[in-house]
Amino acid sequence: MLFKFKSHAASDLIMLEADACRLLKIMLGDDPVKGIVQAQALPGVIAALELAVAQDEALRMEQAEKALKAEGNSSEESASVIDSVRLAQRATPMLKFLKLSLAEESNVVWGV
């Protein structure tokens, strides 16, 4: 299933269900199939998503350092931790979308 996020400030953002639900849970605390984020709530939503990205990056760095120490600095073993898809990669398009919507004071709506 695909989620389509819409705003008057930007072109539609389409995401796979798993990625959209993960981001919605971070931003709003739940993952509704349809919904709206009003323009005045966007700063809090953006801050929540940016905080989650920063925490994920810090955790990944910590795990990579532990893997390097545990494997005797074997770069092949640590590459599997570092090369996986990061939250930042999934969140970047959404953050850009939300920031454009905030700049234009436009609501964000989504549905399936």
- pLDDT tens-digit map of 44-70: 999 999 999 999 999 988 888 887 887
Number of domains the chain is built from: 1
User: Could you tell me the pTM of the whole model?
Assistant: 0.83
* DSSP conformation letters of 23-82: HHHHHHSS--SSEEE-GGGHHHHHHHHHHHHHHHHHHHHHHHHHHHHHTTS-HHHHHHHH
Q: Is the pLDDT of residue 78 over 80?
A: no
Q: What residue has token string 């970047």?
A: 92
Range of the domain at 52: 2-111
